[in-house]
Structure 1
Amino acid sequence: TTGATKSPADGVSSLGHVVESLGVPLTEVGALLVDGREVPFSHLPAAGESVAVRPVAHPQRVPGAPLRFLLDVHLGTLARRLRLLGVDTAYESTDIGDPALAARSAAEKRVMLSRDRGLLRRRELWAGAFVY
């Protein structure tokens, strides 16, 4: 979506934290621009700066092709369809919790697919994407 949102600069929170606090998982952010120049997620925003959040380019380039996926408990139908297409897809049919899913994603180098924005904010994830 597009639109402008004002957010105070506290001098402590990184731009990545500010973007996540507004509900955008960093796995969906392609670039952060401050006053027209690209900055890292760790940039500390200052008062008066104008920030543009660009979406990640699709299809997303992820190292380790062919890709392997991990789907959370809410995406059973998608998991079944991906498996029918021959895509390496792991699926948790019971809720094992966000920490365990993120750890499995990292340990097995799998792209986490989820509709849970909180899960996609976890730093342990190897890679992830929000399923619309």
Structure 2
Amino acid sequence: MKKDIIIPVVKDVYIAIVKEWNKDFTSHDWFVYLINDSLDPLESVMIMSRGKHKDGRKTSTFRHAFKLIDAKTAMKVELIMEEVFAFENEFVLTYFIGSTLYDQVYTAAPFSISEEAFKKLPVMDQDGILLK
């Protein structure tokens, strides 16, 4: 029955966007990170990202998988181009802690990604944008 289904609440796990030096392209670029600020490792992590614009345009859908994300660590997920900052960018995160499945959708509203929105990020020694 529906009342028997327990949906666990995601706590201390975040998607963040930071601007940092990209030594491969010798430029400052924007990157998406998964931050695990919990005391438990995350297992079988899957992240799906996509963007959609109010005029109907869509970005490609990207999928990433990580076997394990240790507690109190951050993992670089992907590069995000400034051209999609006008889009609503969505990140769907799914992972296990033990035998419990967790699922959370994080959204960056159009034009919400900017250096003016930076805050101190957990685990990382950097400033960035924490998505909700």
TM-score (norm 1): 0.21
Larger Rg: 1
Structure number with higher helix proportion? 1
Structure number with higher strand proportion? 2
| Structure with greater contact order relative to length (CA < 8 Å, sep ≥ 6) | 2
TM-score (norm 2): 0.21
